[in-house]
Amino acid sequence: MVDTNFKRTAVLLCDHSKTDGTVGFILNRQYKAKVGDIVPELESFDSPLYLGGPVQKDTLHYIHNVGDLLEESQPVGQGVYWGGNFEKLIFLINNGVIKPENIRFFLGYSGWSAEQLKEEFELGSWVTADLDHNYVFGRYTKKLWSTVMKNKGNTFSVISQLPDYFAWN
């Protein structure tokens, strides 16, 4: 992917509709602030903030693994949920029920109009991988892209080892 917004990113797709398009979040672009820096109620919650994508960077989103505790959560995959009741989320965090390893916060999101992502797949712009809970909630996001590619095996494993810039090779 030559688009700098998505070069060497791992994107979790959360919602797809043939008529409305697709929504996802970049898992491996950590932001310079913590969630408490933008949500005063979570000032003492030591959780990183990630750039979810280039769309509406002034909005906050979250992926978590406590769907049964957080009403209005949407299941994304086994043990992975998107969104949910924000007031209850703050309550659960401030009472120690939800810990940083249970949730990931994003500024903005990645979005594609209807059929756009399908066209990008047909052009070979994207590589798919099965959802792994560790990809979403693992601590080592800087190496996430290469880990996902390596886990796919074969040619992808070789691609995962290429330098970011071919001049470095």
**Residue 114, both tokens:** 């209807």
| pLDDT attached to residue 68 | 87
C-alpha gyration radius of the chain: 17
47 to 35, 43, 108, 143: CA distances (angstroms): 6, 10, 17, 19
How confident is the model over 13-37, as a mean pLDDT?
94
- 8-23: pLDDT as tens digits: 899 999 999 989 999 9
pTM for this predicted structure: 0.89
- What's residue 139's pLDDT? 76
pLDDT per position as a tens digit, 66-87: 998 999 999 999 999 999 999 9
Q: pLDDT value at position 86?
A: 97
Per-residue confidence band for 151, with pLDDT thresholds at 50, 70 and 90: confident
What's the residue count for the chain? 169
- Segment 34-57 shows an average pLDDT of 95
DSSP per-residue string spanning 8-46: T--EEEEEEETTTEEEEEESS-EEEEEGGGT-GGGTT--
- pLDDT greater at residue 100 or residue 165: 100
Span between the terminal Cα atoms of the chain, in Å: 19
- Domains of the chain by residue range: 11-139
**CATH-assigned architecture of domain 11-139:** 3-Layer(aba) Sandwich (3.40)
- Encode pLDDT of 89-140 as tens digits: 999 999 999 999 999 999 999 999 999 999 998 998 898 999 998 899 987 7
Distance CA 114, CA 132 (A): 26
- On whether the CB atoms of residues 80 and 73 are closer than 8 A, the answer is no
